[in-house]
């Protein structure tokens, strides 16, 4: 049914307005990112207070325009808008179109993104005051917002991949924010390595998708999905496992709690870890073709949830405990994706992100809140209720406790795997040097 002409015009106008608003909303953080970055690059960094003001204003602007756009879309009866911003790159057979797809899923994630980033920006302005690297922090949070915005509104796997990489970059650099101590840098590197290893899967997935469908646009893929090979699904799952901290890659996540508290909150409580179920959800048309893939997602999710729950229960420090609590919920979200419960997953994700951010932000309050609660309820919180372990024999309780405390030895396993890979690499390196020497090359000192 076509609407009457005047209404049609109105809807068109509304569509235009919504597009304009969305454009402002998504590009504002990008602008502020450029401003922060360039001012630092030309050695005229903004004063700390300015940077944080800029950040709060930007995200508030983004949030307001986004919500208005949502309202306008609703008024116009549109649940989805596409923004084609031109082609960035085009070669024979492939064009990188800067095309954004703003549907309900994207709108929700964008709202969450801007709202949390705005809050964390407000918080960090005071929390990081006088800290060396306060501007660097502002830049990174901005980068996070941009990357999540790209992931949320990507119309195809290629744009999503760009966001995915930026997300990994900002995450790594914020883990190693306190770069004068060795362990943040080491843990940042660990996260980075795991991102790299799994991102290869995503990149291979993008290429495979293009090879299969001659496009990486989600809609176009959905239209011809039946042709999906299983390998593509597996690559995408592999790609999602790293950022989602799924078994066996869980270990980087508690270790990522090295940055300032607000960044830990927004990355590992809220935005970064939820990128993985979002990716899976976007890839549903591909995954749905192979029940095996769905089973695999469910299995990985369930194992991770179990692992995180067991490891989490024995953690005696606040941030590791919260990290594992986060991971276990993301594991459940994978299970929900596997069952095709997308709406549930969505509600779960939004609620979890908000709640966990709030908990991590308050993680330094644990002692004070405990005191207040003891005082308030008139009851000592000392004895812990026992759960499943009560039913185990002593020997097995000890065994399972130890394995949980050692986090199932996942990291030890990865480490010994790596040392094997490393040995091969060193061998290649030695051979390379030997050949170079035999050809009369000079040994270069590193």
Partner 1 sequence: MSDQRTQGDERPPLSPPRGAAPQAQGLSDALRAQLKASLNEAIAQALKHLPIQRPMDFFVLQNTLHSFEHLPFTEGVEAAAELFKAEPWLPEEAYRRSFKEARILERDLRAVIAEQVPDAPSGVPGIDLREATLRLCRSLPPPDAGATLQWRIEEGEALKEWLSPLPRSAREALRDEGLAHEALPRLWSLAQAAARRRVSASPSELNGPVGRWRDMVLDRSQRDTDDLVVPLMIRWCIAYIDPAYSQWPMPHREEGLLKAALRLWTAPLPDPRSWLAPLRARVPALLSQSAEDVAAEALARMGVAPDEVERLIQALALSLPGWAGMIALLAERPDLAPGPLAPMSLVDFFALRLLIEEAATRSVLGLEPEAPLPPLRRSLSEAEAGREAGRREEERAWSLFNMAQIMGVGPSKFADLCRPLHELIERDNEVFRRRLWHLAFERRYRVEALDAFLARQRSPLPPQRAPWLQVIACIDDREESIRRHLEEQDPGVETFGFAGFFGVAMFYQPLGSPRARPLCPAPMTPQHWVREVPLEESEAQWSKDQSRRKVIGATLIQYAHHSQGLIGGAASALLGVAALGPMMYRLMNPRRSGQQLRLKTPKVRTRLALERPADEGPLPQAQWPSGTLAATQLFKGYTVEEMVRVVAGSLNDMGLRGPFSPLVFVMGHSASSANNPYDSDYQCGACGGGQGGPNARAFAQMANDPRVRLGLRELGVVIPDETTFIGGMQDTSDDNILFYDHELIAAQVEERLGAEGRARFMQRLDKMVGVVERARLQNAYERARRFALAPSDLTPEKALRHVEGRARDLAEPRPEYKHATNALHVICPRRRSRGLFLDRRSFLTSYHHDLDPSGDALERHCRAGVMVAAGINLQYLFSYIDNHRYGAGSKLPQNIAALVGVMDGHQSDLRTGLVWQMVEIHEPMRMLNIIEARRGVVLDALKRVPAAWQLAKNGWMQVAVYEPSADPNAGGAGAMFILSGEEFIPHTPEREEVPRRPSSRACFEGREDNVPFALIELGAPLEEPQEDHPREAHA
Query: Residues 278 to 307: which contact partner 1 by CB under 8 A?
Result: 305
Tokens standing for residue 132: 């060396």
DSSP state of 271: I
Closest approach, Cβ 323 to partner 1, in A, equals 8
Continuous H helices in 214-274: 218-223, 230-243, 252-255, 261-264
- Separation CA 139–CA 51 (nearest Å): 9
Applying CB under 8 A, the site for partner 1 has a residue count of: 111
The verdict on whether omega for the bond into residue 196 sits within 30 degrees of 0, i.e. cis, is no
Q: Which H or E run includes 373? A: helix 366-377
Tell me which stretch binds partner 1 (CB under 8 A): 8-16, 98-106, 144-152, 256-264. Answer: 256-264
Q: Which of 80, 181, 211, 430 binds partner 1 (CB under 8 A)?
A: 181
Name the nearest CA neighbour of 62 among 134, 162, 152, 158. 152
Q: Which of 317, 427, 428, 434 binds partner 1 (CB under 8 A)?
A: 317
Regarding 403 and contact with partner 1 (CB under 8 A), the answer is yes
Regarding 429 and contact with partner 1 (CB under 8 A), the answer is no
Tell me which stretch binds partner 1 (CB under 8 A): 13-21, 97-105, 242-250, 404-412. Answer: 404-412
Dihedrals phi, psi of 98, to nearest 5 degrees? -85, 85
Per-residue x/- marks for partner 1, 345-364, CB under 8 A? Answer: --xx-xxxxxxxxxx-xxxx
- Separation CA 413–CA 411 (nearest Å): 5
Stretch 19-78 residues interacting with partner 1 (CB under 8 A): none
Cα dist from 408 to 93, 344, 412, 416, whole Å:
46, 30, 9, 14
Regarding 172 and contact with partner 1 (CB under 8 A), the answer is no
Regarding 10 and contact with partner 1 (CB under 8 A), the answer is no
Cα dist from 323 to 4, 159, 276, 426, whole Å:
55, 29, 16, 35
Regarding 419 and contact with partner 1 (CB under 8 A), the answer is yes
Q: Which is nearer to partner 1, 233 or 315 (CB)?
A: 315
Regarding 430 and contact with partner 1 (CB under 8 A), the answer is no
Q: Which is nearer to partner 1, 217 or 250 (CB)?
A: 250
Regarding 193 and contact with partner 1 (CB under 8 A), the answer is yes
Q: Which of 80, 129, 214, 433 binds partner 1 (CB under 8 A)?
A: 129
* Greatest alpha-carbon span in the chain: 82
Tell me which stretch binds partner 1 (CB under 8 A): 17-25, 70-78, 226-234, 380-388. Answer: 380-388
| CA 361 to chain CA mean position, Å | 18
What does R_g of the chain's alpha carbons equal in angstroms? 24
Q: Which of 367, 424, 439, 446 binds partner 1 (CB under 8 A)?
A: 367
Tell me which stretch binds partner 1 (CB under 8 A): 93-101, 150-158, 181-189, 204-212. Answer: 181-189
Dihedral sign, Cα of residue 27, residue 30, residue 36, residue 41: negative
Regarding 224 and contact with partner 1 (CB under 8 A), the answer is no
């Amino acid at each position: 049914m076509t609407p009457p002409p005047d209404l049609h015009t109105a809807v068109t106008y509304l569509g235009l307005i919504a597009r304009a608003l969305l454009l402002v909303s998504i590009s504002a953080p990008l602008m502020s990112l450029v401003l922060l970055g360039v001012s630092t690059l030309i050695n005229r960094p903004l004063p700390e207070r300015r940077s944080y003001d800029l950040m709060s204003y930007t995200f508030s602007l983004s949030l307001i325009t986004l919500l208005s756009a949502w309202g306008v879309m609703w008024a116009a009866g549109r649940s989805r808008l596409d923004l084609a911003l031109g082609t960035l790159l085009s070669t024979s057979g492939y064009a990188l179109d800067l095309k954004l797809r703003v549907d309900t899923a994207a709108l929700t994630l964008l709202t969450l993104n801007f709202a949390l980033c705005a809050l964390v920006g407000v918080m960090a302005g005071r929390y990081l005051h006088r800290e060396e690297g306060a501007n660097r922090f502002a830049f990174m949070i901005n980068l996070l917002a941009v990357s999540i915005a790209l992931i949320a509104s990507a119309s195809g796997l290629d744009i999503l991949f760009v966001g995915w990489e930026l997300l990994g970059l900002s995450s790594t650099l914020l883990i190693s924010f306190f770069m004068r101590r060795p362990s943040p840098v080491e843990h940042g590197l660990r996260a980075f390595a795991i991102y790299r290893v799994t991102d290869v899967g995503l990149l291979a997935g993008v290429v495979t998708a293009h090879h299969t469908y001659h496009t990486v646009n989600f809609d176009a893929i959905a239209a011809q999905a039946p042709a999906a090979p299983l390998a593509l699904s597996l690559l995408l799952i592999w790609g999602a496992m790293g950022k989602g901290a799924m078994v066996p890659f869980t270990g980087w996540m508690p270790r990522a709690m090295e940055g300032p508290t607000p960044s830990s909150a927004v990355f590992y409580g809220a935005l970064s870890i939820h990128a993985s179920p979002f990716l899976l959800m976007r890839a549903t048309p591909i995954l749905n073709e192979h029940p095996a893939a769905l089973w695999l997602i469910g299995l990985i999710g369930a194992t991770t949830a179990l692992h995180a729950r067991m490891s989490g229960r024995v953690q005696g420090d606040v941030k590791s405990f919260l990290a594992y609590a986060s991971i276990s919920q993301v594991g459940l979200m994978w299970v929900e994706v596997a069952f095709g419960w997308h709406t549930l997953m969505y509600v779960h994700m939004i609620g979890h992100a908000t709640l966990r951010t709030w908990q991590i932000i308050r993680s330094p309050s644990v002692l004070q809140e405990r005191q207040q609660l003891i005082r308030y309820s008139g009851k000592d919180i000392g004895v812990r209720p026992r759960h499943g372990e009560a039913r185990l024999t002593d020997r097995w309780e000890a065994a399972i406790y130890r394995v949980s405390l050692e986090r199932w030895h996942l990291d030890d396993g990865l480490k010994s795997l790596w040392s094997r890979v490393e040995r091969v690499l060193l061998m290649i390196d030695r051979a390379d040097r030997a050949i170079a020497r035999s050809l009369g090359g000079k040994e270069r000192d590193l």
